[in-house]
Structure 1
Amino acid sequence: MCGQGQGTSLTGSQAKSCRLPSRQFLAKQKLAILTASKKGHLGQRPKNDGTSNR
């Protein structure tokens, strides 16, 4: 997303995150993905992620 050179749709925070070192950026991306996936997987079940499904 950041390496395409189209900064028109980027907000300030996104632009800042793009300027960060790759390590920090990747870490932030991993965190964001983890939190998003957790929220998505959990839904309304706080502690049984996919135990009941599997």
Structure 2
Amino acid sequence: MHELNTGNSDIIIYYPDINLENFVYNQYERRVKIIDLEYVTIVERSLFFNTNIDD
């Protein structure tokens, strides 16, 4: 299990091809616990919402 704590409201976590049952997100602590995930991509909130993520 990986534990990631950004502590930054300007950062969001984007999970490509993830099974939703494999992670828990606590928005108040901004902590993400991920099970059996090879990688995550961290992007700035403005970049994420201003980018077309449809491939």
TM bracket (short chain): under 0.3
Higher strand content, 1 or 2: 2
TM-score (normalizing by structure 2) = 0.25
Structure (1 or 2) with the larger CA radius of gyration: 1
Higher relative contact order (CA 8 A, sep 6+): 2
TM-score (normalizing by structure 1) = 0.25
Higher helix content, 1 or 2: 1
